[in-house]
């Protein structure tokens, strides 16, 4: 397995600065596409529609509008929080399953299921949550993904952006909004996603260093799991079913993963030195938990160079035994693909310890 190195030369914080820029360029060119400079001519957010749940959790629905030379698209997000005098840390959850027919096939991935977004539990522990309907910007379909934000900034050439890039971009726009809202502490913002949205959370956190923590569940191929030597899903599968998620260059590495100038440990390294939590499910062979763990171990190199800790253990853990003491945390739980209450409990514990919420 000829893995490209995170540091080809000097391992110093100074060398990392340049390497970081280079890794972002490589991952853009060969995997996710370049995020365009959008030069919007206008953005706005509608006055939220608000209500309070029986539990006391306040819900606000917002819609962001993006305008460029007369073309407009929009994206919804909801905020869940318990009113407080102190600015609250916030977890931004990327949701692309809302409008997708897959929602019906994978009810556990669907928005609002209480296991998937346990707002009572989250807000009880002093966090706010934002649920971002990123598929409003770029629908998760090969036929319609070019509507929305890609009308304002089309996918151009073999390294033009796709849905993952667009969803990540939209998530950063919600953080822009939260930065202007004194009820929230945008300096303690975590981006979180599951599965395809987990791949997106990693790409978003890699690019946008304002996110103080990054959490990805079962992100698999094109997410946390190394492509080289992977079982389950390969570039070939991913790009034949979802060619619009990544850039076109990525598909040309189908069955030649070994020649790809990047691999996923580099994506994880781009989160350094910020806290990163990865989780998997033991029956999820399609995602390949072992390869995600391996990538996390390797990414620790960038953390250590920057004076932080990587994973605190280097042997794949038994189920339900999280490794969460270092800057990179990992757990694998029983069962299959999805996001469960058990996963949330670990993430909240990790963030509480970090931010003493
Ligand atoms: C498919 C796809 C995966 C993806 C998953 C999901 O299984 O092959 O790459 O992570 O859908 O988003 O649920």
Q: Which residues have a Cβ under 8 Å from the Cβ of 198 and sit 6 or more positions away?
A: 216, 217, 218, 219, 220, 223, 224
Average pLDDT over residues 59-84: 94
Mutate to test the pocket of ligand 1, among 220, 222, 244 (most ligand atoms within 8 A of CB): 220
Q: How many residues does the chain have?
A: 357
Q: What's the number of CA atoms in the CB half-sphere (13 Å) around residue 260?
A: 32
Q: Is the pLDDT of residue 76 over 80?
A: yes
Q: Which residues have a Cβ under 8 Å from the Cβ of 138 and sit 6 or more positions away?
A: 145, 147, 148, 149, 150, 162, 163, 166, 167, 170
CA of 163 to the centre of ligand 1 (A): 13
Write the DSSP assignment of 151-214 as a string of letters: HHS---STTB--HHHHHHHHHHHHHHHHHT-TTEEEEEEEEEEETHHHHHHHHHHHH-TT-SEE
- Write the pLDDT tens digit of every residue in 232-250: 999 999 999 999 999 999 9
Q: What is the pLDDT of residue 49?
A: 86
Q: Is the pLDDT of residue 201 over 90?
A: yes
Q: What is the pLDDT of residue 43?
A: 86
- Write the pLDDT tens digit of every residue in 252-288: 999 999 999 999 999 999 999 999 999 999 999 999 9
Backbone angles phi, psi at 7, to 5 degrees: -115, 110
Q: What is the pLDDT of residue 315?
A: 97
Confidence band, pLDDT 50/70/90 cuts, at residue 357: low
CA of 232 to the centre of ligand 1 (A): 11
Beta partners for residue 189, in sequence order:
90
Mutate to test the pocket of ligand 1, among 195, 224, 278 (most ligand atoms within 8 A of CB): 195
- Write the pLDDT tens digit of every residue in 25-63: 999 999 999 999 998 988 888 888 898 988 899 999 999
Work out the number of other CB atoms within 10 angstroms of the CB of residue 341.
11
Average pLDDT over residues 314-335: 97
Return the active site residues. Answer: 195, 337
Q: Which atom of ligand 1 is nearest to the CA of 109?
A: 13
Topology at the third CATH level for domain 13-355:
Rossmann fold (3.40.50)
Q: What is the pLDDT of residue 165?
A: 98
């Amino acid at each position: 397995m000829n893995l490209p190195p995170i540091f080809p030369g000097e391992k110093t914080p100074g060398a990392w600065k340049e390497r970081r820029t280079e890794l972002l360029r490589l991952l853009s060119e060969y995997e996710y596409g370049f995020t365009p400079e959008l030069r919007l001519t206008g953005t706005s957010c509608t006055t939220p529609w608000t209500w309070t749940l029986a539990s006391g959790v306040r819900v606000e629905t917002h819609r962001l509008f993006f305008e460029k030379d007369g073309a407009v698209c929009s994206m919804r997000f909801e905020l869940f929080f318990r009113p407080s005098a102190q600015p609250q840390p916030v977890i931004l959850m990327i949701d692309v399953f809302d409008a997708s027919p897959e929602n019906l096939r994978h009810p556990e991935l669907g928005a609002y299921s209480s296991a998937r977004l346990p707002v009572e539990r989250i807000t009880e522990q002093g966090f706010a949550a934002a649920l971002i309907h990123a598929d409003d910007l770029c629908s998760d379909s090969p036929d319609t993904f070019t509507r929305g934000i890609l009308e304002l900034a089309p996918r151009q050439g073999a390294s033009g952006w796709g849905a993952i890039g667009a969803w990540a971009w939209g998530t950063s726009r919600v953080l822009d909004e939260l930065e202007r809202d004194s009820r929230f502490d945008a300096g303690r913002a975590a981006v979180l996603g599951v599965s395809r949205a987990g791949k997106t959370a990693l790409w978003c956190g890699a690019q946008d260093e304002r996110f103080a923590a990054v959490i990805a569940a079962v992100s698999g191929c094109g997410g946390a799991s190394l492509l080289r030597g992977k079982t389950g899903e390969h570039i070939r599968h991913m790009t034949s079913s979802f060619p619009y998620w990544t850039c076109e260059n990525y598909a040309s590495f189908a069955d030649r993963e070994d020649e790809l100038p990047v691999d996923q440990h580099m994506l994880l390294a781009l989160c350094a030195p910020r806290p990163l939590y990865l989780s998997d499910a033991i029956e999820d062979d399609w995602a390949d938990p072992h390869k995600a763990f391996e990538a996390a171990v390797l990414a620790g190199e960038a953390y250590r160079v920057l004076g932080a800790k990587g994973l605190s253990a280097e042997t794949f853990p038994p189920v339900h035994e999280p490794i969460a003491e270092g800057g990179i945390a990992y757990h694998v739980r029983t069962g299959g693909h999805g996001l469960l209450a058990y996963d949330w409990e670990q993430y909240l514990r990790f963030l509480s310890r970090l931010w003493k919420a």
